[in-house]
């Protein structure tokens, strides 16, 4: 089993509107620093929040699949496909398949926290496709509860969320205190963000906003020291296309 832990202070950071919106980024853009660069079909991951509320103005995207997850409070979304504002509450998810071009604006309401995660679905194909948008409230996703664990499947078996990026799975785990074993697929890379709580993995204690990458194992043992929320994205080790990030590194 290989585990790479990226503590909050090793991640990139950002802000909008004079600090009205703040971000820490396990995977930032190249100019932003931080320890991690894009890998697999995972290109970017930001945790954004706003104490008083603020809006990021209209800006364009192409090619990528951009997913947002509301962790606390509510956010609002506008894009040039729908041409209207939509509200998303805690637990909701949205996907922008940016295709051959779309512009959008987003507002974090007071006290909102969200993830924005970008995936590379093979830009050679998606840049030729029409852009599209979908959102889903929390009640649209499968939720399982067993043995001190609550698991929400955002992308995976039973989820309505469709992505062009291949072999992606996305889960939100809520753990009670104790020891838990999670089954893994050895053909995937697991990327995990500790939203809140305190846990021990491989004899290392993780806290709020820590991030880790795990691969080459069929299971992982977690010792939960305090009620913990862990957001996990699984992506393939091998892709049959060259990602934008790999091209830029050549």
pLDDT at 1 over 90: no
Residue 176 pLDDT grade (very low, low, confident, very high; cuts 50, 70, 90): very high
pLDDT at 144 over 90: yes
The string of pLDDT tens digits covering residues 118-130 is: 999 999 999 999 9
The string of pLDDT tens digits covering residues 152-163 is: 999 999 999 999
Helices (H), 117-199: 123-126
Give the model's pLDDT for residue 145: 96
Residue 106 falls inside a structural domain: yes
Residue 248 falls inside a structural domain: no
Residue 84 falls inside a structural domain: yes
Q: Are 81 and 130 in contact (CB under 8 A)?
A: no
Domain that holds residue 180: 143-236
Mean pLDDT of 59-66: 98
pLDDT at 250 over 80: no
Q: Are residues 37 and 65 in the same domain?
A: yes
Mean pLDDT of 97-125: 98
The string of pLDDT tens digits covering residues 188-229 is: 999 999 999 999 999 999 999 999 999 999 999 999 999 999
Where among 98, 125, 140 does a domain terminate?
140
d(CA 56, CA 50): 11
User: In CATH, what number is assigned to the domain containing residue 232?
Assistant: 2.60.120.10
Q: Are residues 147 and 30 in the same domain?
A: no
Q: Are residues 121 and 104 in the same domain?
A: yes
Which residues make Cβ contacts (< 8 Å) with residue 31, sequence separation at least 6?
Answer: none
Where among 110, 140, 170 does a domain terminate?
140
Q: Are residues 16 and 127 in the same domain?
A: yes
Report which DSSP code applies to 177: S
The backbone torsions φ and ψ at residue 248, rounded to the nearest 5 degrees and listed phi first, read: -70, -25
Q: Are 73 and 17 in contact (CB under 8 A)?
A: no
Give the model's pLDDT for residue 30: 79
Mean pLDDT of 95-122: 98
């Amino acid at each position: 089993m290989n585990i790479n832990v990226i503590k909050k202070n090793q991640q990139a950071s950002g802000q909008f509107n004079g600090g009205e919106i703040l971000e820490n980024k396990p995977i930032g853009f190249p100019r932003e620093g931080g320890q991690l660069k894009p890998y697999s079909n995972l290109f970017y991951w930001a945790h954004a929040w706003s104490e008083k509320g603020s809006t990021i103005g209209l800006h364009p995207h192409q090619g990528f699949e951009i997913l947002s997850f509301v962790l606390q409070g509510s956010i609002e979304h506008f894009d040039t496909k729908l041409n209207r504002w939509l509200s998303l509450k805690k637990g909701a998810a949205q996907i922008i398949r940016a295709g051959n071009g779309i512009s959008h604006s987003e507002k974090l309401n007071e006290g909102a926290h969200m993830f924005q995660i970008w995936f590379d679905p093979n830009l050679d194909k998606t840049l030729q496709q029409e852009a599209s948008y979908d959102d889903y409230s929390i009640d649209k996703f499968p939720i399982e509860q067993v043995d001190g664990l609550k698991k929400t499947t955002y992308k995976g078996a039973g989820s309505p969320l469709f992505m062009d990026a291949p072999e992606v799975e996305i889960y939100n785990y809520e753990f009670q205190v104790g020891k838990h074993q999670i089954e893994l697929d050895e053909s995937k890379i697991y990327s995990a963000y500790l939203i809140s709580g305190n846990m021990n993995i491989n004899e290392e204690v993780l806290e709020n906003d820590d991030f880790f990458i795990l691969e080459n194992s069929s299971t992982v043992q977690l010792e939960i020291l305090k009620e913990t929320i862990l957001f996990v994205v699984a992506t393939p080790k091998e892709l049959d296309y060259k990602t934008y990030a790999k091209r830029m590194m050549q």
